[in-house]
Structure 1
């Protein structure tokens, strides 16, 4: 009879997200709205829950109120069955200091590990868009006998210079872990492809505990999981790679299999939204065999289109009203209003945005409750946009939360 291992999941959600500013000015990066109805953290939590992992600690730090509220309101599991998803703020258990790195965050939260006494610990990031069955990675970790298994994403070698890169042998043992190398090593079976670290790890529990304590005594360490803890295991020949391309998710298609996006920059965040809206999307939010869970919106009325208002190649959430306006190639979160004669094209509009009469908004991300007043033109003249707004390298205009323009 197969014995089910005791697994504790730790989600690292303390990131400040400076590269995603201004959308992280008032919230932690994992709390940033995404895809109409979701927050970024919903993707990792959905993957864990769908796989049957119901003991989840979310380590928070930076401007965490919005994130804490979302978890408490949207992710209630059955405490009677020993199930929980709980936000864990920095508690200063080891002195009057905040988390100094991702490894230090777990070190300061080891009381949670001791309480649960797990066999294995999943450590995942909170700000990537993807589907994954982590149980398959846990099974691969157990079979390998490794101290840590690192999820590896196959990327073209020329793109791998932007990632932490894994050099692995034929047996998947990690030989080197390199941070943004100029000459990335290739995977064993394809000279044009490299393994990029996804920032997802599975540890044998005691091995992680021992490594964290050892790292805490190293004054030269940055106390970072990817920069310090993983190389420690690599140097001991105790680290293996898990090939993400081998992961099977129910309901996936050949088009969205293996999809993973780091949305840490404005341009990447924008492009990930554009991946959602094609007829055959690169990432399919409509896969109900592996759903992405979030807060219920049952109290909101359906989206409404009146006076000839239209939306083409777009996702329009509950509570939206398009009144004699035009929406194309865009993602509208709940309660967005597009008024008469307004045009919204190639945009991401977060909850509660209002676009006034005759306004034109193109190639923009507009944060929660922002008001675009009558006749405003955004995303047409870059020089003018740069005088008024933050504009990304890729030309995406950013309108901040609660702004009126």
Structure 2
């Protein structure tokens, strides 16, 4: 994967995640005591052998810049890097603000012109999943695709929140319908469950395939389409035009995947990490999640009762306290005889003094 560059899109203002995004961008939102959402796509890249990535940002990006700069530092001999590209006004790109997903990439095309780059993997910075991108690359090469889109089988109820793809028996994508709400609309893009089964993925009654917002482009095609058009969004403009004349293929994925776009999704995803049967186990030796080393002491627990919970490093929990089904972030100080249930506590950047 040495000829692949990853672009992680930092997203917009994150209004649906407010107030979590009041002082930070969506990819910088904390997850599971010590991680940030940006750690998910970057860890997937590293575990897949992709060690060169750009993160495109524009809103409230100070803490994201600090986290990435302090975490993803490769040694000088392997050529790896993770660099942040903030929205900026340039002579060739014009306006400084990104006006959509495709526009964000267009304004940074100069970083994709290096001769070693053959493929561009475009990722979202606010999703929770574990994927080996080598399998997506295999689909891309085997099908001689110009673009490959990752898709997830879903139920009709789930489909109401996603863009749904229509494709032929070879997996070539022919159409796209954004957030269908009625059975009549869904029937236009439905898939034979037997086709999903034939790909080694149990359909389990699912007859629709949702776009995951993960795209693998041939670099030359991506540069061509963005230079020759003024398209601003991949899902709404680039792909509908490409379906007619270019080879756009589907890569099926069937594991846990969650779009952390709302407060409810953030809350439920965090609490799911506490369970022994978590759909996204943080303990995964073959595909770990990386984050910044903070050199904090282990949590100090003095006679408290804790069940089905995650306790962050540097926490102090007093005698007689009860914590159930909760995520307790870094450096939390919990006094004696405190009861916390079904909660996500974000943690702190520093310890307060006794006077504070």
Quick check: TM above 0.5?
Answer: yes
The alignment covers a number of residue pairs equal to 335
Instruction: Give the whole-Å Cα distance in 2 for the aligned partners of 1:56 and 1:176.
Output: 30
Equivalent residue, structure 1, for 2:73: 76
Unmatched 5+ stretches in structure 1: 246-257, 353-367, 372-403
Aligned to 1:133: 132
SS of residue paired to 1:95: coil
Counterpart position of 1:196: 210
Matched, 1:175 2:174: yes
State the match for 1:230 in structure 2: 239
Aligned to 2:343: 347
Which one of 326, 329, 332 corresponds to residue 330 of structure 1?
A: 326
State the shift of 1:326 in Å. Answer: 1.4
Say if 2:329 and 2:346, in contact at 8 Å, map to a contact too. Answer: yes
Structure with larger RCO (C-alpha < 8 A, sep 6+):
2
Native 8 Å contact 1:334 1:350 kept in 2: yes
The runs of 5 or more residues in structure 2 that have no matched partner are 195-204
For the residues of structure 1 that align with 2:329 and 2:212, how far apart are their CA atoms? 28
- The residue number in structure 2 matching 1:260 is 257
Q: 1:77 to 1:157 in 2, by over 3 A?
A: same
Shift of 1:232: 1.9
Aligned partner of 2:191 among 187, 190, 205 = 187
Paired residue for 1:285, among 282, 286, 290?
Answer: 282
What displacement does 1:281 show? 1.5
Confirm whether residue 208 of structure 1 aligns to residue 222 of structure 2: yes
For 1:386, the equivalent position in structure 2 comes to none
**3-state secondary structure, aligned to 2:217:** strand
Structure 2 counterpart of 1:242: 251
Runs of 4+ in 1 over 6 A off after TM superposition: 368-371
Report deviation, 1:133. Answer: 0.4
Within 5 Å, give how 1:124-163 maps onto structure 2: 124-163=123-162
Counterpart residue number, 2:312: 317
Output the TM-score relative to the length of structure 2: 0.90
SS of equivalent residue, structure 1 residue 162: coil
Indicate the residue corresponding to 2:62 in structure 1.
65
1:116/1:300 CA distance change after superposition, 3 Å? farther
TM-score norm. by structure 1 comes to: 0.79
Coordinate RMSD, CA, aligned: 1.9
